[in-house]
Structure 1
Amino acid sequence: MTSPNDLDVNVVAGNLDASGLRVGIVAARFNEAIVERLVDGAVAALVRHGASASDLTVAWVPGAFEVPVVLRRMAAEGGYDALVALGCVVRGSTPHFDYVAGGVATGVAAVAGEHGMPVAFGVLTTDTWEQAVERAGGKLGNKGAEAAISAVETAQVLRQL
């Protein structure tokens, strides 16, 4: 199989250098014990990859459903190179989970599409509390950190285009 590099194709690939990037994080307070860990992971990952703490903004909202409206405002007002959505929705015994999880996912994707900027999705949608713990710094890593790094890499790709 021929690789793009063998064909002299222009390849654009992001790097993980967050220095100089302004990143906005919108975090849902509902299930705060989990979301705080996601925020801590995201901030630590950004700083570890060169971001200045003064270039990071964390905005707290009541729940995951409110995340997209604040992301939209941050994107519209400019000044951010990337945004990160963080939250935790745990399935219950009613269809409420489906509405919240679907609404936040659709809303986050819409902000990225409307504004042409990276908006990383770090909203956990789990069946159990234990699954959320595993993804917020437990044995499956920290999805907040992963979302932040994804936002950085995508922002770097956009800078190169």
Structure 2
Amino acid sequence: MATQLKNLSDFSHTTIPNGSAFKIAIAVAEWNAEITGSLYNGALQTLINNGVLAENILSVAVPGSFELTSAADILLQKHKDLDAVICLGCVIQGETRHFDFICDAVAQGVTQVSVKYSKPVIFGVLTTNDQQQAIDRAGGKHGNKGDEAAITALKMAELVATI
């Protein structure tokens, strides 16, 4: 469903697992820091509000969204006890095709890392046409994609744990 028709922070339609047994990493891009900082704060607070202990949340910053894939790979390689990695970033359409290449590379990379380690790697990257759309999805009128990414991480970690 299109974001304009749904609040990214509304989870009234689903059951959210308790995260007290999980260890989750968050990789956040520094590019578009105003937006990614809001995404990070949303994800962090959502994890804590759903039982993940602060000491079981590992956070790392990377220069931009492109680097999220390698950060996820490094995190899962170095920290075998992680249950999920959340990748948070923001790529805003510009005048060149750079946007297309970055968005595609990050989406493909996140998927590849998830499959490589058989662990959830969550795509929490905003890919918007303009700054206002990013603001609206990073705690604005459409909720916070960081919240959504954290809930997705919890649900997928629970899925892995129960299969």
Contact preservation (8 Å) 2:65, 2:102: yes
User: Matched residue of 2:58: which SS?
Assistant: strand
Q: Is the CA contact 2:126–2:134 (under 8 Å) kept in the aligned structure 1? A: yes
Judge conservation of contact 1:14–1:156 (CA < 8 Å) in 2: no
Aligned equivalent of 1:149: 151
Amino acid at match of 1:132: A
Secondary structure in structure 2 of the residue aligned to 1:132:
helix
Match of 1:55 in 2: 56
> Which letter does structure 2 place at the counterpart of 1:72?
D
Pairs within 5 Å for 1:10-159: 15-77=16-78, 78-159=80-161
Shift of 1:20: 2.1
Query: What does residue 6 of structure 2 align with?
Result: none
Does the 8 Å CA contact 2:16/2:151 hold for their aligned counterparts?
no
**Deviation of 1:16 (Å):** 2.0
Say if 1:14 and 1:154, in contact at 8 Å, map to a contact too: no
Query: How many percent of aligned residue pairs carry the same amino acid?
Result: 38
Return 5+ residue gaps in structure 1 as ranges.
Answer: 1-12
Query: C-alpha root-mean-square deviation of aligned residues, in Å?
Result: 1.3
Counterparts of 2:50 and 2:153, CA distance in 1: 12
Runs of 4+ off more than 4 Å: none
Q: 1:116-158 CA deviation, whole Å, 9 max, x = no partner?
A: 1111110000001000000000011100110011010111011
Q: Could you say what secondary structure the match of 1:27 adopts?
A: strand
Structure 2: gaps of 5 or more residues: 1-13
Tell me, what secondary structure is at the counterpart of 1:154?
helix
Q: How many residues are aligned here?
A: 149
Aligned-partner SS, 1:25: strand
State TM-score, norm by structure 1.
0.90
TM-score by length of 2: 0.89
Q: Distance in 1 between matches of 2:67 and 2:15?
A: 30
